[in-house]
């Protein structure tokens, strides 16, 4: 197999087939950019399946290597992975692993898939445990750990979940803890907001004030058809309508 070194001139493939325009070195040093060839990747699929693969387009001005399949037929393909002298991408894994609290004890060659980005972000997958995820350069991450647990750690940044048309359910036979020490936990809804427990206890605990406020048109309802509704506090202030259904 003959391999030629090249530099990427353009990666904006109008056909959207992962092609790149390259200048093969040194053969095309004097060729105008507009006359340079557009090449498809040598490896775009996985497991010989037409519906599986990786879209991994090299950046402009980066160095790639070209596989010469047939000079007679002018058949050239660029390699999606290329060798950089003295560089070992696996060395970067230690930096990422050290930032993810839920990952420990992995040994080489895990993670067998590790893609490190120029901005410091990374994708990874452990082929033994199935653990995988994305690490952001800011330090936040979203992963499946070794046991299949879903972990999102924003490392002090915001976390937002939007659902405009359906419902969001959190189901657990054990405990669901919303821990908020310094900020405000808000549930904003133009319609109804419902907190429901089945055969369990819903507890809101705070060493400071607990406020249930409804300043818009509507009622605050405490609805329990089977058990007691109890409010224990030094003082309770109700502004507006309070309906207790037991």
Residue ranges of the domains in the chain? 2-78, 89-153
Of residues 91, 92, 132, the one with CA closest to residue 111: 132
Whether the model pTM is above 0.85: no
Q: Which CATH topology does 2-78 take?
A: OB fold (Dihydrolipoamide Acetyltransferase, E2P) (2.40.50)
**Residue 100: predicted pLDDT:** 93
Quick check: 44 pLDDT over 60?
A: no
- Kindly state the percentage of the chain with pLDDT values over 90: 30
Say which range, 11-20, 149-158, 211-220, has the weakest mean pLDDT: 211-220
**What is the per-residue pLDDT across 54-75, written as a single tens digit (0 to 9) for each?**
677 888 998 999 998 887 778 8
| DSSP codes, 112-175 | SEEEE-TTS-EEEE-TTT--EEEE-TTS-EEEE-TTS-EEEE-TTS------SSS------SS-
Residues 125 and 138: their CA atoms lie apart, in Å, by: 20
Residues 56 and 19: their CA atoms lie apart, in Å, by: 10
């Amino acid at each position: 197999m003959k391999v030629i070194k090249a530099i990427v001139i353009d990666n904006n493939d109008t056909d959207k087939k992962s092609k790149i325009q390259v200048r093969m070195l040194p053969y095309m040093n004097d060729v105008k950019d507009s006359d340079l060839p557009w090449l498809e990747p040598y490896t775009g699929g996985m497991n010989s399946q037409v519906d599986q693969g990786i879209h991994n387009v090299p950046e402009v001005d980066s160095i790639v290597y070209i596989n010469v399949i047939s000079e007679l037929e002018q058949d050239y393909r660029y390699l999606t992975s290329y060798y950089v002298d003295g560089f070992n991408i696996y060395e970067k894994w230690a930096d990422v692993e050290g930032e993810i609290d839920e990952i420990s004890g992995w040994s080489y060659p895990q993670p067998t898939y590790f893609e490190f980005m120029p901005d410091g972000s990374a994708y990874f997958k452990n082929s033994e445990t199935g653990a995988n995820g994305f690490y952001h350069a800011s330090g936040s991450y979203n992963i499946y750990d070794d046991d299949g647990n879903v972990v999102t750690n924003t490392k002090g940044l915001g976390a937002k979940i939007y659902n405009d048309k359906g419902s969001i359910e959190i189901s657990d036979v054990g405990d669901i803890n919303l821990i908020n020490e310094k900020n405000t936990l808000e549930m904003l809804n133009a319609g109804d907001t419902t907190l429901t427990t089945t055969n369990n206890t819903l507890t809101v605990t705070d060493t400071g004030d607990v406020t249930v406020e409804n300043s818009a048109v509507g009622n605050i309802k405490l609805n329990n058809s089977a058990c007691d509704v109890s409010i224990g506090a030094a003082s309770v202030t109700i502004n507006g309508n309070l309906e207790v259904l037991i």
